[in-house]
Amino acid sequence: MKIEKILKWPLTWGRRMMILVLISASAMGMQILYKYITHRSTCESGNMRACSDRGFIEAKKGNHAEATKLYKKSCDAGGMHGCYNLGLVYEKNGNLAEANLLYKKACDGDIIEGCYNLGVKEDAKGNHAEAKALYIKACDGGQMAGCYNLGRAEENQGKLAEARLFYMKTCEGARMEGCFNLGVLEDAKGNHTEAKTLYKKACDGGLGIGCYNLGAQDEQEGKLDGANTFYKMACEKGVGQGCFDLASGEETKGNLVQANLFFNKACDTGFVQGCYNLGILEAQKGNDAEALRLIKKACDGKMKEACQALASLNKQ
């Protein structure tokens, strides 16, 4: 039997990358398997953090009953991560009272996510002083959502200097809402260049409202092309006002097809002025049923002009 010569497959850059990906994927799979086996053995040996981590892995696999059992085992033995994760389970299942007890237990055990979640619950009940104390603990522990909520609380009380400090910390911690709100405060002081820098950071970080405010600044400066670019970015990130402003511009230029498209996008985000204007365009085309549906949607969204228009249409 003749053995044919095996032609060597050239080791191109693409092939090198494919081999590296395969090796990495294989290594990653082994790491996950090793991590799972390690968590299982250490949990059975009494390591309660490992029990909680193993519960998380089980939850990822869809084994929620097993995950809950492991979280409870961890929590009952003093594992605070287990208490926090068990709290999340109870909250998801609608047992808020039990969830809050577990968040408090986790918070007392220095799990800052528990402090933050408990703070949100206290805020919702109107216990703002208690919420603030919990947000402070969360923020001091590096939980940027806690710092952000502290900034909001201070701003709502008119303490802008304190709010600015918390927003700055939040922004430096890569939470883009902090950058945006800090930009708004700078804008209000007339520091438009600094505000623009902060809006850009928020926009680059994926926060659509930051893109929108960059567009608004450009529009105020007469830079309409730049404004439309940022409005489009905002619209693509789900900011209905950006879609609406694009639509209004297209309508002014007589581009009704494009206007229709952007009003529709605005409406889909819940920006009811988009629904209303889209309804007007549909009425102009003679699509009365669709116009009525859209104007009613805007009215249901508490738009006064839409409700007045709806009442007028219903009389006809």
Q: Would you state the torsion angle of the CA atoms of residues 187, 192, 196, 199, taken in this order, to the nearest 10 degrees? A: 0
Helical spans, DSSP H, in the chain: 13-44, 48-60, 64-76, 80-92, 96-108, 112-124, 128-140, 144-156, 160-172, 176-188, 192-204, 208-220, 224-236, 240-252, 256-268, 272-284, 288-300, 304-315
If you average pLDDT over every residue of the chain, what do you get? 87
The better pLDDT of the pair 138, 52 is held by: 138
Confidence of residue 316 (pLDDT cuts 50, 70, 90): low
In the chain, how many domains are there?
A: 1
* Confidence tier at 47 by pLDDT (50, 70, 90): confident
Residue 188 counted as domain residue = no
Q: How many CA atoms lie within 13 A of 313 on its CB side?
A: 19
Average pLDDT over residues 223-238: 96
Do the domain assignments include residue 196?
no
Residue 37: pLDDT over 50: no
Is the pLDDT at 25 greater than 60? The verdict is no
**pTM for the whole thing?**
0.78
Q: How many CB atoms lie within 10 A of CB 140?
A: 12
| Tokens, residue 52 | 């909680």
CA distance 259 to 158: 40
Is 245 inside a domain boundary? yes
Residue 167 placed within a domain: no
CATH number of the domain bearing residue 255: 1.25.40.10
- At residue 289's C-alpha, the angle toward residues 283 and 294, to 5°, is 70
Does 68 fall in a domain?
Answer: no
Domain that holds residue 260: 238-316
Tell me what pLDDT residue 6 has: 31
Residue 117 lies in a domain: no
Confidence at 59, pLDDT banded by 50, 70, 90:
confident
Q: Indicate whether 273 belongs to any domain.
A: yes
For the segment 164-175, the average pLDDT, to the nearest whole number, is 96
**Nearest C-alpha neighbor of 116 from the set 89, 151, 149, 165:** 149
Dist. CA 210–CA 145, nearest whole Å: 18
Rounded-to-integer distance, Cα 260 and Cα 240, Å? 14
Q: What is the CA radius of gyration of the chain?
A: 27
Q: Distance between CA 153 and CA 135 in Å, rounded?
A: 10
